[in-house]
Amino acid sequence: MKVAVLGCGSVGSQVVRLLLEQADDLEARTGARVELAGVAVRRIDAPRDVDVPPGLLTTDAAGLVARDDVDLVVEVIGGIEPARALILSALEHGKSVVTANKALLAEDGPTLFEAADKNERDLYYEAAVAGAIPILRPLRESLAGDRVTRVLGIVNGTTNFILDKMDSSGAGFNEALEEAQELGYAEADPTADVEGFDAAAKAAILASLAFHTRVTAADVHREGISEVTAADVASARDMDSVVKLLAIAELRDDAVAVRVHPAMIPRSHPLASVREAYNAVFVESEAAGQLMFYGPGAGGAPTASAVLGDLVTVARNRLAGTRGAGESAYADRRLLPMGETVTRYHVAIDVDDRAGVLAAVATAFADHGVSIQTVRQEGRGADAQLVVVSHAATDAQLSATVAALREMDIVREVTSVMRVEGGEE
């Protein structure tokens, strides 16, 4: 069983290392010797973390995936091109493919799945979501006889590190981001993480699998954490809650709602205890109830572990002359627009300190059909503030309420608006 590895960065070098070091175990577990056929890189002489055996490095990725002696292709280049073209070529040349490429899968998964189907080859991608955490296989297989109703994920380590730091130290966003950058948890340009693009790609993949419906990154409502303030985090703490960036995919009247945004969740929720750069995916299903999968969501070795797990399955399938389940999009459910999505809001409002303020604010909520769960009055005089937590309502109703509040004379400023998840509606 000959394996071509495309890319030899932090993940690729660990894939190569494991392939070489665990060769005997891999042979015992797959039933065939798994050999490295070649490693495609941009520059042969670039420094890397693994000693690739001489003669195996090549800059001709297109040639490598087409080589007759290659059975399996591992794509860990990332990005859209040339990854897409190489995966499609590999499938067309009859190779089975394992990829960790969340961006590509979330943008154009169906093209890849159709190519895999047409060529009757496997396309596995456990490593694309939440690194080492086995979450796609449980969704595809373990829960295949159940009905998943909701997936709540902390699927981006950078933002979890920042929010955890803000919670534990009271730091503001910029300060926490700087610390994350110093420690290597955030990149110099943190946009993809901080603005939720990375999490949105993973949300699309999770939603597709959980609900047997095609969902792309463009379908995901996305808000990042750069607007989250120390005051928001403190306000969450007052409610015995914590702010997390959540990737949420849920069934609502048989439609699928998918979104990424910061939200307050109760500290008693299993996701609240996910610290630092760890990831976790919380799954609710009809029969199984509540499950959580926790672990490192990124990093070379953890991601390589997920790639190798797929590689063993794909190799076994190939030896048995079969393939795993392909794309499952049979349910083809409607995607719910964000405005129809049902959620709860936490709203903090600086108000004039005079009689009737609470009644006026409550009326604004009621006028938009939003029921109030709790309201707390804080401060006096110039510091007078109302903190309102609503019951569940559509996002359209809730955002219209906030817009109306902003127009009211007695409202000096709406200082914080954040969704509330993980509790009772």
Site string for its own copies, 69-108 (x = CB under 8 A): ----------------------------------------
Q: Identify residues 262-301 at the interface with its own copies (CB under 8 A).
A: 270, 273, 285-296, 299, 301
State the number of binding residues for its own copies (CB under 8 A): 58
For its own copies, the binding residue among 10, 328, 373, 399 (CB under 8 A) is: 328
Q: Which amino acid, 287?
A: A
Closer CB to its own copies, residue 106 or residue 143? Answer: 143
Q: Does 132 bind its own copies (CB under 8 A)?
A: yes
Catalytic site includes residue 95: no
- Using CB under 8 A as the binding rule, the residues of this chain from 18 to 47 that contact its own copies are 18, 22, 25-26, 28-29
Q: Is 322 in the site for its own copies (CB under 8 A)?
A: yes
Give the Cβ contact number of residue 96 at 10 Å.
28
Identified binder of its own copies from the candidate list 47, 55, 145, 381, rule CB under 8 A? 145
10 Å Cβ neighbour count for 307?
28
- The nearer residue to its own copies, 92 or 146, going by C-beta atoms, is 146
7, 38, 190, 309: which one contacts its own copies (CB under 8 A)? 309
- 208 is written with which tokens? 């597709």
Identify which of residues 137 and 391 has a Cβ nearer to its own copies in the complex.
137
Cα–Cα distances in angstroms (integers) from residue 266 to residues 69, 263, 272, 282, 283, in the given order: 54, 10, 7, 14, 16
The nearer residue to its own copies, 135 or 386, going by C-beta atoms, is 135
Catalytic residues: 202
User: Site residues (CB under 8 A) for its own copies?
Assistant: 14, 18, 22, 25-26, 28-29, 126, 132-134, 137-138, 141-147, 212, 270, 273, 285-296, 299, 301-302, 304-313, 316-317, 320-323, 325, 328, 330-331
